[in-house]
Amino acid sequence: MSSASSPALPRPQDDLFRHVNGKWLETTEIPSDRAAWGAFNELRDASEKRCRDIIEACEADAEDENGLMARLYAAFMDTAAIEERGLGDITADLARVDDARTKGDLAELLGDLERDGVGGWVALVVGIDPEEPELTCPALYPAGISLPDEVYYHANAHEHTRQRFLAHVTNMFRLAGITDAATQAARVFEVERGFARFHVDSVRSRDVDLTINLTTYPDVAAEASGFAWQRWAQALGADLERINVAWPSFVVAGARWWSLLPIDVLKSWLRYRILDRYSSYLPAAFVEEAFDFYSRTLAGVDQLRDRWKRGVDVVESHLGFALGRRYVERHFPASSRDQMETLVANLLEAYARSITELTWMSDATRERALAKLAKFRTKIAYPTRSRTYEDVVFASDASLIDMVRSSSRAATDHELAKIGGAVDREEWHMTPQTVNAYYSPLGNEIVFPAAILEEPFFSPEASDPCNYGGIGAVIGHEIGHGFDDQGAKFDGDGKVENWWEDGDFAEFTERTRALISQYDAYVPAGLNPDEHVNGALTIGENIGDLGGLSIALKAWHIAREKAGLAAPEADDVREFFIQWARIWRGKVRPEMRRQLLVVDPHSPDEFRCNGVVRNVDAFHEVFSTTPGDDLWLDPDQRVTIW
């Protein structure tokens, strides 16, 4: 895992990201079916191939989860049957739209279709009650738009995308044989542009103080009276009383917008929502049209992914934990879990030491921060108990879309059944074969699926600087989310509670503002000067990265202390930082990069590397940076939070 230097590469003092990854960046092409490529994508590709082998080994006549996976995959791969069925499997849904006589009928139909996965103008999500975190609680979130963000509907920079979207919707209607396709497409855009006006921007949508608004469902229906809420919920199968409304202003304005629109206009919008929902399962012309807009136009992808890859995605989406159980059996060694537990324990101890040593925090706040840290839950590799699929039934003559509907309805019912009950603390929200990790503020838990516990992030055979600079920093990042600008508003039980002394939170906020200013100045390579990182949007992830790397270094020192070893040599510390750079190697198509700058709370890879290390004293020490180096920051300009 060592890094070879080259005279042609920048010095690490100027650009650690390209010093480590320069040769890879020069020689690696983004695959034609991908919008981006890097360390995460390489592992996802490997996981995908493993999942394919698992699925293709399943027998379709097995009366268990293996049979469900085999049949769903086979149905997706049977393109002849899909072409023969045409629109037959969604004709009834489209006819139900035609038959709706009132907006109340349409709201009821929308609720029923949402059980199948058709998106409405609000999204109902079952999660944890932010005031009573031992209980589940449903929440309403803004929805109703097809473009990546509300800004796409009004900003001049996205005029081309709007025109392409209109053309795409028109083409979808024409393929479906729907008359007046262009007129109906214009109606779809009118509806969505209206809903987009009431959406909040991506920065404010992160704000816990603005997105937690507990109320009752009858009060929602009374305050947003332009929509038939009871008929919608009844058709969805949701028994709603206590509920969180993420953005009350959106719900009220959205319901009024619904009430003002002619029913024929709303019908056009719902027809498109149906076509869009099922486009992946329809004949090739629909698949290609959806790909052309959502992947080629929005993300710059040249080629549709191989069908088997999309088939694996379908099984993952509908039967993911069944697939995950077999993935773990085949591909995850128990010894890796033991090593991860040691790494996590050292990271938690390092955070505790760091919090104890903070000079800017009062003792009262420090005590509460340590109390929260002590309550962190850790989940590694795979759940001890996960979703089973006895409720998913595929009839003997079921088509692909029949299977998708059956699975979607079972999943909806599974989620709705949780409402008002006790939170299942063993539940995972990622499958073991997912290459990612997460922190849940409401659960106060960090989760690391099996598929990310591989090189370059982790290896049982790797050196400590590599493992701590890789997965150690990822662990630290996820712990750090518990103390980022939003996670810091939750206590150790997952309850929204202000545990800060006023002066401490003011100092914390001042430090985060300094980090925001740094990232606002970063422009990804190849983009225009005005296409810069949004420091306010990315601040939570940037705090996680900065704390994650700094605390991982401290945790490595702790590991050496426990082993009776001296502090690491400078060469080993350099290897730690080199590994940090290595895990962020990545390339992104310009179209996708522009989209991510608008919607993604993560900074571009190069700044997740360089933007962090320039704030870490140890980086400057072991690489002997001096004023004038591109990554030099004066010591008083370096941001330290945790």
Q: Provide the annotated active-site residues.
A: 478, 545
Instruction: Calculate Rg over the CA atoms of the chain.
Output: 25
Backbone angles phi, psi at 214, to 5 degrees: -80, 135
Q: Which amino acid is present at 107?
A: A
**Strand runs (DSSP E) across 133-204, as ranges?**
136-142
Cα four-point dihedral sign 112, 116, 120, 123: positive
The DSSP annotation for 472-535 comes to IHHHHHHHHHTTSTTGGGB-TTS-B---S-HHHHHHHHHHHHHHHHHHHT---TTS-TT----H
For residues 398 and 390, what is the distance between their CA atoms, to the nearest angstrom? 17
For residues 59 and 249, what is the distance between their CA atoms, to the nearest angstrom? 51
Q: Are 475 and 552 in contact (CB under 8 A)?
A: yes
Helix (H) or strand (E) holding 363: helix 363-374
For residues 17 and 27, what is the distance between their CA atoms, to the nearest angstrom? 15
Nearest by Cα to 382 from 440, 320, 468: 320
What SS3 state is found at 641?
A: coil
For residues 191 and 185, what is the distance between their CA atoms, to the nearest angstrom? 10
For residues 275 and 273, what is the distance between their CA atoms, to the nearest angstrom? 6
Nearest by Cα to 129 from 483, 420, 361: 420
CB within 8 Å of 338: residues ≥ 6 apart: none
Q: Token pair of 134, please? A: 């031992």
Q: Are 483 and 369 in contact (CB under 8 A)?
A: yes
Q: Are 491 and 497 in contact (CB under 8 A)?
A: yes
Kindly report the number of other CB atoms within 10 A of residue 13's CB atom: 19
Q: What is the 3-state secondary structure (H, E, C) of 373-400?
A: HHCCEEEEECCCCCCCCCCCCCCCCCCH
Characterise 361 by phi-psi region: left (phi > 0), alpha (psi -120 to 50), beta (else). Answer: beta
Helix residue ranges per DSSP H, 279-333: 284-291, 298-299, 307-331
- Tell me how far CA of residue 239 lies from CA of 218, 247, 417, 497, 611, in angstroms: 11, 21, 9, 28, 47
